[in-house]
Chains A and B, each alone.
Chain A
Amino acid sequence: MNYLLCTLFEIKWLPDIWAVILVSVIGFGVVISLLILTVLFLVLAERKLLGFFTQRKGPNRVGLWGVLQTTADAIKLLCKENIELLSSDKFIFTIAPIMAFASVILLWCLIPYNSEFHLINSSVGVLLYFAIASLPMIFHFLAGYSSNNKYSLIGSYRSLGLTCSYSIVLMLSVMSVIFLSGTMDLDKIVLFQSKTWMIFSNILGFLIFFIATLAKLNRCPFDLSEAESEIVCGYHTEYSGMRFAMFFLGEYAELFVMSMLVAILFFGGYLPPFGMYLANAFMGNCEFCSYFIYFEQTIWLFIKTLIIVFVIIWIRATLPRLTQVSTLNMFWKYIIPISIFNLIMIIMMRALW
């Protein structure tokens, strides 16, 4: 980013303010195109993998092995009619899916993809991330509330109840990471793990964070806010067409970005697992290599993320859904005490170290 900014500053006829704006626009364009491509891939991957887990084939008709299935679905959803209930609250009903998707896009901008490309580089990156990550839940509630449907309302209440259970756990386990690395900057957390990954020093914290992540993403076994077999579709029952697609895409984009955060906090982010870049190992220290390293860092981040996404889909294929009561039971009675214990242990470790 800085390199691009310097190149644009050197152009004489371009005012500096335009250079700054241009850099952010280019960065945002890259992020959002990455988001759309990843989500299209992710929906297909989930359907395929769930098929393979249950000895089916998954989508295999559109394109070669069904690769164009999600594209066709997206085009279909774009062409569909937006149905609105007469009794719904029009303004909130319209704005809720847009805001839910927008806040997920904002999350994508906070992630350090490699050591250069970091769109919003803040010294309190983790805090900012979780502040924004709590927004989609509010808009899910508003969507369920405004559509004036009992199933939507039950779904949104359930999603609020889930928020009460997981958010404390999520923050406590993130606190352990922050205490260990001594910083809230995502870039510095990644660089802190250049010797050993965080998961080796904080395995309990990782497990708690992962469970809380599943609850945050409304994934199995905590997908009770959109339980298909009980309350139709939860908060987006009344949505159709592109508004439904906003929720759907936002959900998958959030899945990917949370997995990226897990990879950054616990698996060394964009750092290679062997302590050495493959580009350096094969090509030596040449000029071209130093550019190639940035791509390699992004590829490492994506590989780690995809492994975590695979585990999440695997869990979805295996576990049944928990009830609301047992979810709250589990989080408040078991996981919160364990996470507090973990946090105290980490603080003591840090003090004695």
Chain B
Amino acid sequence: MVKKIYLSIKAILKGHFTVLKHLFRNSVTLEYPEVHPFLNHYFRGRHVLEGCRGCGLCKRVCPSDAIMIEKNDNNYLNKYVIDYSKCIFCGNCMFYCPTHSMKMSNDYELAKTNKSQLLTDIYYKGV
């Protein structure tokens, strides 16, 4: 019984000093609106489109059917709309793009107050 008591007291003290060690460590909390977390280059955030020729491959591979492509009469790209209420950020559109014109940025603050605002036209029309 004495050995049992000794072992339990030893275990309790060991736990206490493990906890005490953590008192002097830096906290892992990020104070979010002021401090942003570090993101890797392969992070999949908001889409950026540059130099698209409108082949429509991304529309066909999209698993959640979130991409809408609109062309004008000359078969040029007019609108490239992503419905962020449907998009699951899988990155297929970026992976299958033959011209590497689709990129995904590190911007992840996509919340909007209205559902219709989530329909975003990301086609960069140029100057």
User: A residues touching B (Cβ–Cβ < 8 Å)?
Assistant: 49, 51-57, 60, 314-315, 317-319, 334
Contact = CB atoms under 8 A, between A and B. Distances in A.
A353 B70 CA distance: 101
A56 B25 CA distance: 10
Nearest to B16: A318
A54 B27 CA distance: 8
7 contacts: A52-B22, A53-B22, A55-B27, A57-B29, A60-B31, A314-B16, A317-B19
B20 interface: yes
B19 A318 contact: yes
A55 B22 contact: yes
Nearest to A221: B12
Interface residues of B, number: 14
Contacts of B23: 49, 52-53
Contacts of A51: 27
Contacts of A60: 31
B28 A314 contact: no
Contacts of B5: 334
B28 A55 contact: yes
Interface in B70-101: none
Interface string B19-39: 110110111110100000000
Interface string B93-115: 00000000000000000000000
B15 interface: yes
Contacts of A317: 19
Contacts of A55: 22, 25-29
Give the 3 A-B residue pairs with the shortest CB-CB distance, closest first.
Answer: A318-B19, A57-B29, A57-B27
A54 B16 contact: no
